[in-house]
Amino acid sequence: MSDHDKTVTNTILLVLAILAVMAISFYFIAKTVTSDDSAENDGPNPRMTAKILENIKPVGQVNTGAVVVAAVAESAGPRSGDDVYNASCLACHSTGVAGAPKVGDKAAWDTRVASGMDAMLNNAINGINAMPAKGTCATCSDDELKAAIEYMLKESGV
């Protein structure tokens, strides 16, 4: 082997030896820094656990409003037909969206009244055509839906 080859080989071995010493040094430094002798390693470090929980907590929450509405409905008792209509039925029944009978259109309501209150309440509870079950008031009780129907009938002159 030439002197040049021996020099290259020795340089490579020296660099590998230095890297190995550095790796071992970093290992022991990291172990010393992260060890917790005060807690005697009996369990998880409470400070570290709190920091981890802080780092992984959600940034925000999605609020659909359903929980709030349900809590208000339960705490305030049954809502009046007027309140239910204004909160949930107004969007479709004031404009006639997707064939919904408009409040004030006596002729449209007369055909529905002919089927009876039980049929109208059943349609409101289970949905009909484009109207989903309970309309847009998933938290409404059957009595509140009935009150809303009665309100719309009264406002329509039926």
Q: Dig out the tokens for 149 from the structure.
A: 């129907």
Q: What is the pLDDT of residue 15?
A: 97
Q: What is the DSSP letter of 57?
A: S
Q: What is the pLDDT of residue 25?
A: 96
- pLDDT band at residue 110, thresholds of 50, 70 and 90? confident
Q: Answer with the residue of higher pLDDT: 131 or 69.
A: 131
Q: What is the pLDDT of residue 133?
A: 82
Q: Dig out the tokens for 116 from the structure.
A: 């009876």
Task: Average the pLDDT over 103-114 and give the result.
Answer: 81
Query: What whole-number distance in Å separates Cα of residue 81 and Cα of residue 150?
Result: 7
Q: Dig out the tokens for 89 from the structure.
A: 């039925």
Q: Quick one: 99 exposed, middle or buried, by C-beta within 10 A (0-12, 13-18, 19+)?
A: exposed
- pLDDT band at residue 135, thresholds of 50, 70 and 90? confident
DSSP-assigned beta bridge partners for residue 131: 128
Q: Return the residue matching tokens 């107004």.
A: 90
Q: Mean pLDDT, the chain, as a whole number?
A: 81
Query: What whole-number distance in Å separates Cα of residue 41 and Cα of residue 29?
Result: 18
Q: What is the pLDDT of residue 67?
A: 55
Reported as a single tens digit per residue, the pLDDT across 47-88 is: 888 888 888 888 777 777 665 554 554 556 688 878 888 877
Residue pair 139/73 in contact (Cβ under 8 Å)? The answer is yes
SS3 128: strand
Q: What is the pLDDT of residue 22?
A: 97
Query: What whole-number distance in Å separates Cα of residue 73 and Cα of residue 67?
Result: 10
Number of H helices, E strands in the chain: 8, 0
pTM score > 0.75 for this model?
no
* pLDDT score of 107 more than 90: no
Q: What is the pLDDT of residue 49?
A: 87
